[in-house]
A and B are shown apart, each in its own frame.
Chain A
Amino acid sequence: MKLIRKNVVALVVLALAAGQAMAQKSASDSIAEYRAMLQDGNPAELFEMHGEELWKQKRGPKNASLEQCDLGKGAGVVKGAFVELPRFFADTGRVQDLESRLLTCMQTLQGIDTSSVSTRTFGKGETANITALATWIAAESRGQRMNLPQDHAKERVMYEVGKRLFFQRGGTHDFSCATCHSSEGKRIRLQDLPDLTKNPGDGIGFAAWPAYRVGNGQMWSMQHRINDCYRQQRFPEPKFGSDATIALGVYMGVNAKGAESIAPAIKR
């Protein structure tokens, strides 16, 4: 814990320094520089360490680890799994993303009661554990290229569903994902917006999450990222691991084919 506090203090100092420097340069140059500075001390590493511990630790009523969990490449295979998720799993008969798959493994292998896992408990308890696990599992594929399978009919249909959800307009403001993420070179305020209808480039968009968010000091999984997009869209809330969030993952992940994964990334 001491290490965490130290890092947070260092980050705050860095953030302040970057803030002062920003006044003299173009805003986007400074933001890029600031991100590069932060990459050296990404606190996501602490979550990675915790995630690896959780993977190997015997837990739950069955006193079992997650080491036999099948993330799509066979029981216990972690390396390379992240860049191929979401994908179809025969045992559940569903297309699952990393977080919903971890939920399955915690239930079946460890017998853990996952009823507390929800969007209302991000950062707490078993939901935080899933984020830590996802962070480590993503890190194990760092540098690999996104390569989601589209062989199974359900994977292809989830892509089509994800595409429709991406363009679905609703809420009080008629926003869709596409409002912000369907053309190149756009910004919201000073924040660059990736075009998620195609490969947005290495380490951008789907190939960046889970990510550590400096602004609020939290580690966010893709589930959390999508949840907050929907909040800002003024939609009602998508449930944790719901098919809507998974279908969007398939759409973004397949579109990002060939993009290098830098997850876990660091964000403002």
Chain B
Amino acid sequence: MKKTFIALALPAAVLALQACTMSSSASDPDKMTAEVIKSSFVDRGIAKLDRLNPDPANAACAAAEVAGQPIDANLAKSIEEANLKSVQWPSDGKFLGDWKQGEKIAQSGKGMTWKDKLDSVNGGNCYNCHQISKQEISFGTIGPSLYNYGKLRGVTDPNSAASKAIVEYTWGKIWNPRAYSACSQMPRAGHNGVLTQAQVQHIMALLLDPQSPVNQ
């Protein structure tokens, strides 16, 4: 949990580039926004002000959105590389846990708000944005449908050599989606300590276990 806001060590050149783009246009509103943030927010419960500490990738992606332009391609590449390097692969070598527990984690949107306790079990928020199993009709559409996720990718045995690449990609995507898409809207569930390694393993099973309802 303590690793929640590890700043990614991006190359200094990238930071300099970003500082350049930030100050070139509309520097006053940027400055004023920083002042407004400082004067407007307060700690509440577990949601402390450090949650607003600048994160270089977040700032770069937001600045691009404000400008209505895609993020610089080289900057995007360096963000992705740095994030891919920081992915923690399963320490016990197991990529898949129990899909039944994964379904429960995917259903839950709980945890980490100012009303929650520090020791509460966090949910994955998955159904808020994705279709996953066919049985759950209450799903969001911000992210793509994940129904038949493993089946569509030809995963018949997640432990096989043939499945290795997609299994690893899926782990990396859940752990830290920025490893593959610099400005992904998806939370960095593993990297930011939203989900534990065991919880990620269970969600992996929900998506990739041939027995999971997702792949029926």
Do the beta carbons of A161 and B33 come within 8 Å of each other?
yes
Indicate the member of A165, A169, A236 with the most B CB atoms within 10 Å: A236
Q: What is the distance, in angstroms, from B121's C-beta to the closest C-beta of chain A?
A: 14
Q: Is the CB of B140 within 8 A of A164?
A: no
Which residues of B sit under 8 angstroms from A231, Cβ to Cβ? 47, 113-115
Asked if A169 and B55 sit within 8 Å, CB to CB, the answer is yes
Contact with B along A136-179 (1 / 0, CB 8 A): 00000000000000000000010011011101111111111011
* B6 interface hit (Cβ, 8 Å): no
In this complex, the interface size class of chain A, counting residues with CB under 8 Å from chain B, is: 35 or more
Query: Is A188 in contact with chain B by the CB < 8 A criterion?
Result: yes
The answer to whether B36 touches A161 (Cβ under 8 A) is yes
Q: B6 → chain A, closest Cβ, in Å?
A: 13
CB-nearest residue of chain A relative to B128?
A188
- The answer to whether B51 touches A179, judged by C-beta atoms less than 8 angstroms apart, is no
Q: Is the CB of A165 within 8 A of B42?
A: no
Q: Which residues of B contact A238 (CB under 8 A)?
A: 40-41
B155 at the interface (CB under 8 A from A): no
Chain A residue numbers with a CB within 8 Å of B36 are 161, 165, 242-244, 247
17 contacts between A and B (CB under 8 A): A157-B28, A160-B26, A160-B32, A164-B30, A170-B58, A171-B112, A172-B193, A178-B65, A189-B128, A234-B113, A236-B47, A236-B48, A239-B41, A242-B36, A242-B41, A244-B36, A245-B40
Interface residues of B (CB under 8 A from A): 4, 26, 28-30, 32-33, 36-37, 39-44, 47-49, 51-52, 55, 58-59, 61-62, 65-66, 112-115, 125, 127-129, 137-142, 185, 187-188, 192-194
Given known contacts A173-B112, A180-B142, A187-B140, what 19 new A-B pairs fall within 8 Å (CB)?
Answer: A157-B28, A160-B32, A161-B29, A163-B29, A164-B33, A165-B37, A167-B62, A167-B65, A168-B62, A172-B187, A173-B125, A173-B187, A174-B185, A179-B185, A189-B127, A189-B128, A235-B51, A235-B52, A244-B41
